[in-house]
């Protein structure tokens, strides 16, 4: 039984490729997605592996993360992250440069998961927008009397709960460091709640796709490729439940709360997640609630 719970927020600073292997579709190396909804995720195993690597050398390492694979039968680690799910997805906007988009379904999922980890945001979700509408909290995204995201046009409907949600996310999910002050200020103004189907289409068809090749180091000609890779774009926000049990082995940590405090004590902020580290991909900023 999980004794302590909190939320981990993952803010994407450079395009993120958490891969799912090769595919039969148009993209050779797609990102991880939920089977039913098609929403992008970072699987819990990938997230825990990154946290484990970052925690190497810490006190009580095996109590928190478990022993290495050769000794995995001895006991499990006390830390259990969930999948990192999509919360905000950036989409190019005719006004305001880009909008952070979400949907009623995504926000309802977040509230459900927040309740599971005993976080109460204190806001309710507005009535879902009709087809062709977008809920906004300010005029920052308006181009004349419309909102234009990529090549799609939406009729704006102003609801102050959108700004309330944006402010809460800015204060509780975004990094609180000085370099993020601008983004915390902008989020409530650039947040748009879309119909569920439209949001699903954006996270399906508006991710970044890059074509790559491998050069022969001697001849400087193509040795392998081309192949295509999919990325979550910069300024995507994901969240993952972070839960802990008391350690299952001898340790000075006695409770699940001790385990979470030990993880917080690592002071993790910027880490690399997913593939292609050598070409600058996968830099994310972590915030533990």
- pTM higher than the cut 0.75: yes
Residue 249: which residues within 8 A CB-CB, separation 6 or more?
A: 62, 63, 74, 75
The answer on pLDDT for 280 being more than 70 is yes
CA–centroid distance for 249 within its chain: 32
The answer on pLDDT for 217 being more than 80 is no
Distance CA 113, CA 220 (A): 50
Tens of pLDDT, residue by residue over 52-106, are 998 888 889 999 999 887 877 788 899 999 999 999 999 999 999 999 999 999 9
Average pLDDT, the chain: 93
Strand partners, 270: 285
CB atoms within 10 A of CB 115: 11
- What is the per-residue pLDDT for 23? 64
Tens of pLDDT, residue by residue over 153-181, are 999 999 999 999 999 999 999 999 999 99
Tens of pLDDT, residue by residue over 28-58, are 889 999 999 999 999 999 999 999 998 888 8
Q: Percent of the chain scored above 90 by pLDDT?
A: 79
Q: What is the mean pLDDT of residues 112-136?
A: 96
The answer on pLDDT for 211 being more than 90 is no
Strands 84-92 and 237-244: antiparallel
- Phi then psi for residue 231, to 5 deg, are -135, 145
* DSSP code for 21: -
CB atoms within 10 A of CB 125: 19
Domain ranges in the chain are 1-18+44-82+232-289, 89-195
Nearest by Cα to 173 from 115, 126, 128, 119: 119
Q: Are the beta carbons of 154 and 146 closer than 8 angstroms?
A: yes
Residues in the chain: 289
């Amino acid at each position: 039984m999980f004794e302590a719970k909190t939320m981990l927020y993952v803010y994407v600073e450079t395009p993120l490729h958490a891969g799912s292997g090769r595919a039969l579709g148009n993209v050779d190396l797609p990102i991880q997605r939920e089977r039913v909804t098609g929403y992008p995720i970072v699987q819990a195993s990938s997230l825990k592996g990154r946290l484990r690597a970052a925690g190497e050398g810490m006190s009580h390492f095996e109590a928190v993360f478990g022993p290495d694979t050769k000794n995995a039968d001895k006991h499990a680690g006390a830390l259990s992250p969930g999948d990192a799910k999509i919360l905000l997805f950036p989409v190019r906007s005719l006004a305001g440069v880009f909008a952070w988009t979400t949907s009623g379904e995504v926000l309802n999922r977040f509230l459900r998961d927040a309740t599971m980890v005993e976080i109460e945001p204190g806001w309710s979700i507005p009535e879902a927008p009709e087809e062709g509408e977008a809920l906004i909290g300010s005029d920052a995204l308006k181009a004349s009397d419309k909102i234009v995201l990529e090549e799609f046009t939406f009729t704006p409907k102003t609801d102050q709960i959108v700004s309330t949600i944006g402010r809460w996310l800015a204060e509780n999910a975004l990094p609180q460091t000085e370099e993020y002050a601008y983004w915390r200020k902008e989020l409530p103004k650039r947040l748009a709640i879309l119909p569920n189907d439209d949001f699903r289409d954006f996270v399906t068809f508006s991710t970044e796709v890059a074509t790559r090749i491998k050069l022969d180091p001697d001849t400087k000609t193509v040795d392998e490729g081309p192949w295509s890779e999919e990325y979550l774009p910069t300024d995507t926000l994901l969240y993952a439940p972070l839960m802990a049990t008391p350690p299952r082995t001898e340790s000075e940590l006695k409770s699940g709360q001790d385990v979470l405090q030990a993880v917080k004590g690592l002071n993790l902020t910027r880490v690399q997640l997913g593939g292609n580290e050598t070409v600058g991909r996968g830099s994310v900023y972590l915030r533990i609630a």
